[in-house]
Structure 1
């Protein structure tokens, strides 16, 4: 009896909020991050993928001192080199996880490449690509698979 009373008083008033949240969650399912085995990430919104390197990659590189970005308007194929990151330890190429047209680049990285160290999966993004073939995303890893990939590389 107490459970029925709790449901009537607590759950029912919040049911519209729960339904709205579920609708938003279903819509955002496509906007989740995907990862490559080369430690790039892509987050898609409205057919445009924002690309950068993962936190795992920036930790392996160390202090980033220079970032090479693609040019706006470039057409890239999946697995094409779209830039490079140089650190005090090493240099690493960045490859596109999808095919499409570069529609924006992170100009802030030219003056402050350390953004890749401080916020690699947010402010340290490299480029935005209008995705030509959404099926390219199906071949990428979700967060759980990427974490397992990194864990296996550590051992």
Structure 2
């Protein structure tokens, strides 16, 4: 996600999807319209919701993922670990199973897990990081000339 347009009057953000992490639900070039969450408003995020949130590692970067687990639930997942073999001096990869009990935040996952940076890497997402919930997606094919403008603006 890079390009954003904010409509303050209706508390909406518009984002241009830039990665394959949410395939097949969202494709690169699709536009998503997000209802931004205002402080002290009623938050209603549920499993299955697609949200936009602030990347905890990259300032001003927004990520878009699906909520897989909500606060209070327990999560078990496997994480791919890569390391250097001390004897052969070659990289090796293995899966490590991890369990988080009663998470204090939202555990988010990309729909395309092989190409997604999500809670498996970032940990649970807290409410303050969430920008809002996607409520409308406009496929790239339906954008016509608007896509060209959006792509030009994000450069």
TM-score (norm 1): 0.30
Larger proportion of strand: 2
Larger proportion of helix: 1
Which of 1 and 2 has higher RCO (CA within 8 Å, sep 6+)?
2
Please tell me whether Structure 1 or Structure 2 has the larger radius of gyration of its CA atoms.
Answer: 1
